[in-house]
Amino acid sequence: MTSRFKNYYRALDKFWKRLIGGCFFLVFAALLFALFFLRVYYINGKTSYEIGDPKDSLVALEVNNFARRYIPFFKENNFARPDKKVGWITDIHADRFKHRDVDSGMIYPRQYSYYLPKVFNALEAQGIDTVIATGDNTNSGDDNYAMAIEKIAQEKHMRVIWVKGNHDNPRVMATLGVAGSQYYYVDYGNTRIIVLDDVESQGDYQGYVDSTQINWLKGALKTQNQVIVAMHIPIFNGNASWSNIHNLSGGFYANVGDLLSRYIELENVLKTSGNVKMVLSGHWHVPWTKTYDGINYYGQAALSRIGYSGAYGVIDLKNDSVNYEFAP
């Protein structure tokens, strides 16, 4: 009887040990799976999860966040700071539509999901992890597409400085992390990137910046850093016919007109600050450049415009220059 009891006890003990060991193994395996395959998104104050590629996992995200937070500190304080560059995209127009024929040429809203990751990959290959997006991030103001492009940015580990466009409503911008005031600034190394909201309508699509925002801008410009200003609508008259813009493919839009009277006060503030190096805009869907009162103004092509698919810019902060490029 005693021997049977001992055998029963030994078998039961072995069973529990195997069960507990198996549970520990399953928990450990589940933890490793979660760490290396789980994607975590923080969008509009909410957390969501997906299973995906290890390079986009929670571990990759946290390692990347650690590198962004601490590596620049050590570089700035212990080593010579390397040349810095930031990326630039505009007019993503993310939506479900196959194409959209507008005054400034044919764009393909649905192709955002193809070209945006390619652009981020191209920027990452150049060591760039910060991007300015100068508005019209969505096409119809649908925050589902705002969530989609924010997810792409997060899984590609890109910090995007979002600018409001005339197609972006407050819900879209909140989803992209810009709640409340749509004008703000970000200090990046020795550069202050000032975002303006100039999509207020005066019955047209040429925008406006009111006195409240201009007064705020005067304070934001009081910095020792060099300044880049990012806004959606250019401050100049387009000064070209519908057919000329619409049919432009693969070339620069050279017909940049005069300063619009509604932007005279804004331009004067930028000019007299003495530290504004460049002003970036979207809206026209084609690239252009203009130097005015000592400041370089740049326009960029829409991400999926015919003739410019995969367009992006690389801003060299050391040389105050912009290179126009295309994702392969």
What are the pLDDT tens digits along the chain (328 aa)? 566 666 666 666 667 767 776 777 777 776 666 666 666 666 666 666 667 666 666 566 666 655 554 544 444 443 333 458 999 999 999 999 998 888 888 999 999 999 999 999 999 999 999 999 999 999 999 999 999 999 999 989 899 999 999 999 999 999 999 988 999 999 999 999 999 999 987 778 889 999 999 999 999 999 999 999 999 999 999 876 777 777 888 777 777 899 999 999 999 999 999 999 999 999 999 999 999 999 999 999 999 999 999 999 999 999 999 999 999 8
Cα–Cα distance measured from residue 21 to residue 32, given in angstroms and rounded to the nearest whole number: 16
Would you kindly state where each structural domain of the chain is located, as residue ranges? 1-82, 84-326
Q: Which of 48, 109, 170 shows the shortest CA–CA distance to 303? A: 109
Q: Are 234 and 196 in contact (CB under 8 A)?
A: no
| 253 Cβ contact partners less than 8 Å away, ≥ 6 residues apart | 240, 245, 284, 286, 287, 288, 299
Q: Are 215 and 269 in contact (CB under 8 A)?
A: no
Cα–Cα distance measured from residue 182 to residue 82, given in angstroms and rounded to the nearest whole number: 31
Which backbone phi and psi does 101 adopt, to 5 degrees? Answer: -95, 110
DSSP for residue 187: E
DSSP strands (E only) in 118-224: 130-133, 159-162, 184-188, 191-195
Q: Are 4 and 114 in contact (CB under 8 A)?
A: no
Q: Are 105 and 243 in contact (CB under 8 A)?
A: no
Strand pairing report for 276-281 and 288-292? unpaired
Class of domain 84-326: alpha beta
Cα–Cα distance measured from residue 17 to residue 218, given in angstroms and rounded to the nearest whole number: 70
Q: Which of 88, 92, 84, 145 shows the shortest CA–CA distance to 116? A: 92
- CA 174, chain centre distance (Å): 14
Q: Are 258 and 292 in contact (CB under 8 A)?
A: no
Cα–Cα distance measured from residue 311 to residue 299, given in angstroms and rounded to the nearest whole number: 12
Bridge partners, residue 325, by sequence: 312
